[in-house]
Amino acid sequence: MSQATLRIQKISGHAGSVPGEDTQRGYTVCKLIDTTTCIGCKACEVACMEWNDLPFGETVFDNTYQTMPATRWNYWNLILFNEHEREDGSLMWLMRKNQCMHCAEPGCLAACPADGAIVQYTNGIVDFQQANCIGCGYCITGCPFDIPKMNPTPHRMFKCTLYTDRVSEGLEPACIKSCPTGCLHFGAKDDMLDLAEKRAKQLRDHSNFPNAGVYNPPSVGGTGVVYVLHDAANPEAYGGLPKNPRVPLFVKLWKGPLKWLGNVAMIGGLTTAAASHDRTAQQVGLGIALAGLVSKVVSAATTPEADTRAWDDLPHYLSFASLALAPGQHHVNVEFRDGSGRTVAGLTKSLTLQVADGRDTVVFLSDQSVTPQTL
């Protein structure tokens, strides 16, 4: 594998074609995890921390051998320990290496509104670019595996990169190098699937695991990380591995039909605003409600420029907050809050809204969740 394996295939929040698209061909890479030979030694956890130079975080004892209950922004790879009782009453460990699955149709990338914050390379690896991340957290809602985690200090998202720096130089991931039992493999996806199917057949024919199989869910287009499971019919037993993972429907809607409807509504709003002669200042951005109802356009004017940053200085990404107003003039404070619910200092916007006859609904487009408060 060479640098060509990191040629970009998809970009989040990006309109138009991908630079260099289809100029080179390469094969899709894949990590194979054989849960039947994992001994829970956690060597891969240590290798991940050391190679990626992740900062230390305190572990949490939760009456299990797991290092901590779940992955964190600074802990991308976690061995899950699951005690399972078989039909004959015997107990067995179902251990699973939990990390980003690098979906062929990544929900995180589909949900992300920031241009270039998430990229998918032609080799299948899905990678986060923190320099372009706006910290909205939409990738969390788009991921069916609950993988992306936010660092609260710089407010940026992190997850497993599948060692793009090593893979681009023809090296295998550090976690693969560290595994002492050979339960981890890395290579072309076709080769890994062939190896996985052979191992699953061996388990069915010789090890009394009639339901052994390969986990490579087609509902997300397949994954760049595949598992060999003792019981492929019950993946939930392996620490909640979803049987049929799907990108949430609302993500597909708002990045598809609702996005186009929103564009139409915004153009209509701007056209109406330009024709209006009674507004006192700059028109505020309007959009559509999540229910799909197009809001009526109202005349909205900002208070003097000195009080806060101008509205147009803020990135307008798709968050919604609606406010039903009776006829008359209304003074409103709009607070921008981060993913933890804290008000972002310096981003409180004071507005004066003039509503004509009848009740109108104002729907704000903003970079974060918006909490309108009528004074």
Chunked mean pLDDT (size 10), the chain, 375 residues: 60 64 65 96 96 89 87 95 88 94 95 93 94 92 94 92 91 94 94 96 94 96 97 94 89 64 60 48 31 26 30 34 56 57 58 55 40 37
Give the Cβ contact number of residue 206 at 10 Å. Answer: 8
**Is-contact 98 79, C-beta < 8 A?**
yes
E-state strands within the chain: 8-11, 29-34, 78-85, 91-98, 118-121, 126-128, 149-151, 156-158, 184-188, 213-215, 225-229, 299-302, 322-325, 328-337, 349-355, 360-363, 369-374
Res 10: pLDDT: 79
Q: Let me know if 219 is exposed, middle or buried by CB neighbors in 10 A (0-12, 13-18, 19+).
A: middle
Three-state SS sequence of 287-299: CECCCCCECCCCE
Kindly state the DSSP code that residue 149 receives in the 8-state scheme: E
Q: Give the type of residue at 129.
A: Q
Question: How does pLDDT run across 284-313, given as a tens digit for each residue?
Answer: 333 322 222 222 222 222 223 322 333 333
pTM of the model as a whole: 0.67
Which are the contacts of 104, defined by CB distance < 8 A and separation ≥ 6? 124, 220, 221, 222, 223, 224
Res 16: pLDDT: 57
Res 371: pLDDT: 42
Res 201: pLDDT: 97
Res 346: pLDDT: 54
Kindly state the DSSP code that residue 75 receives in the 8-state scheme: B
Kindly state the DSSP code that residue 23 receives in the 8-state scheme: S
Res 269: pLDDT: 60
Res 297: pLDDT: 24
Q: How far apart are CA 191 and CA 326, in angstroms?
A: 65
**Is-contact 234 251, C-beta < 8 A?**
no
Res 345: pLDDT: 57
In terms of residues, how long is the chain?
Answer: 375
Q: How far apart are CA 15 and CA 343, in angstroms?
A: 31
